[in-house]
Amino acid sequence: MQRTGYVYRAVVTGLGGVGSFATSVVLALLVLSMIGAGCTSSDELTESQMQKLSPFLQQQINAEGQGSDRIWPVTVKTASVQDLRDANLPLATVTEGIVTARWTMKQIRDAAQISSVSAISSTENRPMSPSNSPDSSA
């Protein structure tokens, strides 16, 4: 946000003598480019990434949005377990190409963005509460 103020000042200062129309056009383009850049997030999934999720998880991702702490038991099919480890995703069990885990929707999104992951499904139709999760220290 601070950087935006500097860019705005630089544009206004640089175009001070050109006229208000040119300044308005440049500012409009600047705002549009910033809005466009803000519309895509690393947490948003592409269509191909969404297809990696089971229909139930697709529905949950759309319903929950970004900020849920609910934990979902999942089964993941991957060509590289190491890619999941490199992404700092907690794993419960690992068998040749199949992983079980307990992840938040954020972690599920992160895993779906990994190219070696081909499928993610929930092993239950309801989340685990964070306090009942085996991963919690409470």
User: CATH top-level class for 47-132?
Assistant: alpha beta
- Give the single-character DSSP code of 123: S
Pairing mode, strands 98-103 and 117-122? unpaired
Distance from C-alpha of 136 to C-alpha of 130, rounded to nearest angstrom: 7
Query: pLDDT tens, 110-135?
Result: 999 999 999 999 977 666 665 544 44
Distance from C-alpha of 136 to C-alpha of 14, rounded to nearest angstrom: 55
Query: How are strands ordered across the β-sheet holding 98-103?
Result: 93-95, 98-103, 72-78, 117-122
Query: pLDDT tens, 30-67?
Result: 444 444 433 344 468 999 999 999 999 998 888 876 56
Show me where the domains of the chain are located.
2-39, 47-132
The model's pTM: 0.61
Q: Tell me how many degrees the CA angle 44-83-74 measures, rounded to the nearest 5.
A: 65
Give the model's pLDDT for residue 63.
82
Distance from C-alpha of 87 to C-alpha of 48, rounded to nearest angstrom: 19
The answer to whether the CB of 114 falls within 8 A of the CB of 108 is: no
